[in-house]
Amino acid sequence: MDRFKKLPLSVLMYVLVWVVCLKALAPIVAWIGNSFAALAVSGFLAALACNACGMVLYRKRRLLEIGLQWNAASAKNAALGVAGGAGSASLVIGIPLLAGAASLRSIANEDATWATAVFVIALLALGAAGEEMFFRGYGFQVLLRSFGPWATVVPVGIIFAMMHAANPASTPLALANTAGFGILFGYAFLRSGDLWLPIGLHFGWNLTLPIFGVNISGFTMGFTNYAVDWIAGPLWSGGDYGVEASVLTSAVLFLLAAFVMRAPVRRQKIELLEETRVEEI
């Protein structure tokens, strides 16, 4: 019963620290200028802060114990995640290219330099890590301990999607697909017991789409000399939001879920999670 009494304050504190940090970082965000860069940097720093506060104030544990410890199992899970995310994103682009529903063309892009590529890849990594730390970190694990797997994974996945509602060119299908990703990333955490599998999945997907010149969640990265021209309509292309707002992504999500279920993931022990009655999946 003590856990349930502490739950509201613990989770409220977690969210409040995150919000306060985002507000405090507003001047830096404005200075950066680029909206995606601002979101990635501020989101990562805010996620670090709220997880650190949660682990130190309420659990007297190290930040790494939210599932960020690095070892051989972490490396394997991260690699599996990147492979799954990149592979599924390649299918979403590759299938319409092979079917003639889209074509890949070279474009003149002055920003397509190695320096830009490194910068964008770093931002994508920060963005994926920050979102997974916030949505699958301390707060998620506290809820998981109190309410069990699916009573936590599904609502948090839906909240994850709603946080993308303000993205440029967002659509109902984009939000539905994003909810699917959020639920899948939550399940990935349950399978691996660490954050590296969901971070890898998130990063692999986010990295692959802009390589082809495709928008990601409404944002244009523009760090390659390629672009995809669609013959098929917005239902298949996702329009300005990108393929995450397409029925292709909806279908590929099921394949990615099967991959996460069958992949040779190495289960990790996290003390915060081991205190629960959650069974290994």
Q: What is the pLDDT of residues 158-170, one digit of tens each?
A: 999 999 998 999 9
Which one has a higher pLDDT value, 6 or 39? Answer: 39
Per-residue pLDDT for 15 more than 90? Answer: yes
Q: Where residue 30 falls among pLDDT bands split at 50, 70, 90? A: low
DSSP letter for each residue of 3-20: HHHHHHHHHHHHHHHHHH
> What one-character DSSP code corresponds to residue 229?
E
| Residue 279 pLDDT | 42
Instruction: Compute the Cα dihedral for 260, 261, 263, 265 and give only its sign.
Output: positive
* Per-residue pLDDT tens digits for 240-250: 999 999 999 99
| Residue 32 pLDDT | 66
Share of the chain above pLDDT 70, in %: 92
Helix, strand and coil percent figures for the chain, each rounded to 5: 70, 5, 25
Which one has a higher pLDDT value, 197 or 30? Answer: 197
Per-residue pLDDT for 193 more than 90? Answer: yes
| Residue 63 pLDDT | 92
Share of the chain above pLDDT 90, in %: 67
- 99-103, 112-116, 176-180: segment of lowest average pLDDT: 112-116
Give one word for 60, left, alpha or beta, with left for phi > 0 and alpha for psi -120 to 50: left
**Which range in 37-51, 72-86, 135-149, 210-224 is most confidently predicted, on average pLDDT?**
72-86
The pLDDT of 59-77, averaged and rounded, is 93
| Residue 195 pLDDT | 97
- 28-32, 143-147, 248-252: segment of lowest average pLDDT: 28-32
CA distances from 149 to 132, 152, 281 (A): 16, 5, 10
Per-residue pLDDT for 251 more than 60? Answer: yes
Burial 33-66 (b: 16+ CB within 10 A, else e): eeebbbbbbbbbbbbbbbbbbbbeebbeeebebb
Report long-range pairs for 174-181 (Cβ below 8 Å, ≥24 apart).
174/217, 174/218, 174/238, 174/241, 174/244, 174/245, 176/250, 177/244, 177/245, 177/246, 177/249, 177/250, 177/253, 178/217, 178/244, 180/250, 180/253, 181/157, 181/205, 181/253
Pairing status of strand 102-106 against strand 226-230: antiparallel
Task: Look over the chain and give the mean of its residue pLDDT values, rounded to a whole number.
Answer: 89
| Residue 276 pLDDT | 45
HSE toward the beta carbon, residue 251, CA cutoff 13 A: 11
Q: Where residue 10 falls among pLDDT bands split at 50, 70, 90? A: confident
The pLDDT of 132-159, averaged and rounded, is 93
Give the number of residues written for the chain: 281
Q: Where residue 7 falls among pLDDT bands split at 50, 70, 90? A: low
Which residue do the tokens 């309410």 mark?
147
| Calpha distance 222→51 (Å, rounded) | 32
The pLDDT of 98-107, averaged and rounded, is 92
C-alpha closest to that of 78 among 277, 268, 272, 271: 268
